[in-house]
Amino acid sequence: MKRFKFLEHMSDAYVAAYGKTLEEAFENAALAMFEVMTDTSKVEPKERFKVEATGFDLYSLLYSWLEELLIIYGVNNVLLSRFKVHEIKRINEEYLVRGEAYGERFDPSKHEQRTEVKAVTYSLMEVLKKNGEYEVRVVFDI
């Protein structure tokens, strides 16, 4: 199964990420976001970051998950390349995602500098289940 693909967009980065589970689709959306910024195959998983986010629906949960990862990137100057979502669950009126992200500090001599993702957007966002598999679509402001 393909992890993600880039879709056409006039000015921003638009991706579709896939998974056999919703958790896997969220992981692959995160990978796609960092692939916009660098070649993630050259980012070693040296540091681990716990990630937890909430949302009032699956759209806001996906948004919050990706924004938390952007915050880790911005605050720590860390590129991320591996993601593990341990759980996505609904608690009363709220959704919760818990996971981890792995990466290393940005090193210009090692890491290709592509286009920086400034923000996650709700534009064209989708969370779909098709034929027992998940697809999430999201636009990143670059």
For residue 1, the model assigns a pLDDT of 75
Q: What is the pLDDT of residues 45-64, one digit of tens each?
A: 999 999 999 999 999 999 99
In 3D, which of 142, 138, 135 has the Cα closest to residue 124? 138
DSSP state of 113: -
Please, what's the largest Cα pairwise distance for the chain? 48
For residue 55, the model assigns a pLDDT of 98
For residue 107, the model assigns a pLDDT of 96
pTM score > 0.85 for this model? yes
Residue ranges and CATH numbers for the domains of the chain are 4-141 (3.55.10.10)
